[in-house]
């Protein structure tokens, strides 16, 4: 499974426009690729630009926390990938439990996860 997370320079999972990197994790091979986030630092439309870049990677799922997505970015991705809600702050902590978390993928998120 190909999983995406948006992180800052300290590997904290961040809202789409605040993370400078999009991390693509292959859960089978454990290979991680890093991509520049096209929405990083954009005061308007940053989340949507980031999501457009993410969708271009054809990921199976995305690691999300409350506030990572906005209504626009959520609806752009709805039906094109699944979501893995997490409580962890750092990507390193998520990766330790990735196999377990894969079983918790969801096709949709509760509105509290993406409302502004």
CB atoms within 10 A of CB 83: 22
Q: Where are the domains of the chain?
A: 2-114
pTM: 0.93
* CA dihedral sign, ordered 80, 86, 89, 93: negative
Q: What's the confidence (pLDDT) of residue 89? A: 95
User: 65, 59, 60: which is closest to 8 by C-alpha?
Assistant: 65
Q: What's the confidence (pLDDT) of residue 72? A: 93
Cα within 13 Å of Cα(97), Cβ side: 14
Q: What's the confidence (pLDDT) of residue 97? A: 86
Q: What percent of the chain has pLDDT over 90?
A: 79
CATH of the domain spanning 2-114: 3.30.420.130
Question: Residues near 72 by Cβ (< 8 Å), separated by ≥ 6?
Answer: 47, 48, 51
pLDDT bracket for residue 4 (50, 70, 90): very high
Backbone angles phi, psi at 98, to 5 degrees: -60, -40
Which whole number is the average pLDDT over 49-56? 96
Average per-residue pLDDT in the chain?
93
- pLDDT per residue as tens digits for the range 8-51: 999 999 999 999 999 999 988 889 999 999 999 888 899 999 99
């Amino acid at each position: 499974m190909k999983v995406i997370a948006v992180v800052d320079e300290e590997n904290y999972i961040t809202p789409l426009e605040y993370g400078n990197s999009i991390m693509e994790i292959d859960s089978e091979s454990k290979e991680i690729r890093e991509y520049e986030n096209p929405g990083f630092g954009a005061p308007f439309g940053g989340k949507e630009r980031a999501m457009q870049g993410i969708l271009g990677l054809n990921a199976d799922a995305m690691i999300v926390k409350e506030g990572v997505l906005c209504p626009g970015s959520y609806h752009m991705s709805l039906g094109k990938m699944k979501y893995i809600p997490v409580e962890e702050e750092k990507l390193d902590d998520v990766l330790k439990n990735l196999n377990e978390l894969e079983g918790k993928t969801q096709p949709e998120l509760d509105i509290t996860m993406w409302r502004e």
